Amino acid sequence: MALKIIASQCTVCGACEFECPNGAIRMKGDIYIVDPKKCTECDGQFDEPQCAAVCPVPNTCVKAAPAA
Ligand code: SF4
Ligand code: SF4
């Protein structure tokens, strides 16, 4: 599982990019995206997803729905 960034709410502040311990967040064009192959949900590394913890916009870094 991974987190995702709700692009319509993201202010592109960049805070999450530098907090991700796995380098899973990067810019693509003019938005930030989470690489689901790299995102571990910070499991085993931090108590909570660091991107969500530092994001100034509530509910913008959220758990991605499982693939149907
Ligand atoms: S949950 Fe953790 S590993 Fe996943 S994108 Fe956010 S900071 Fe990176
Ligand atoms: S911390 Fe939140 S608002 Fe800032 S770039 Fe990341 S997802 Fe967007």
Cα 60 to averaged position of ligand 1 atoms, centre (Å): 13
Q: Model's pTM, two decimal places? A: 0.93
Distance between CA atoms of residues 62 and 56, nearest Å: 13
67 pLDDT higher than 70: no
- Ligand 1 centre to CA of 52 (Å) is 8
For ligand 1, atom 8, name the residue with the nearest CA: 20
> What does the chain come to in residues?
68
Q: Which ligand has its closest atom nearest to the C-alpha of 25?
A: 1
Indicate if the pLDDT at residue 68 is higher than 90: no
* Closest Cα to atom 8 of ligand 2: 10
Other C-beta atoms closer than 10 Å to the C-beta of 3 total 24
pLDDT band at 1 (very low <50, low <70, confident <90, very high): confident
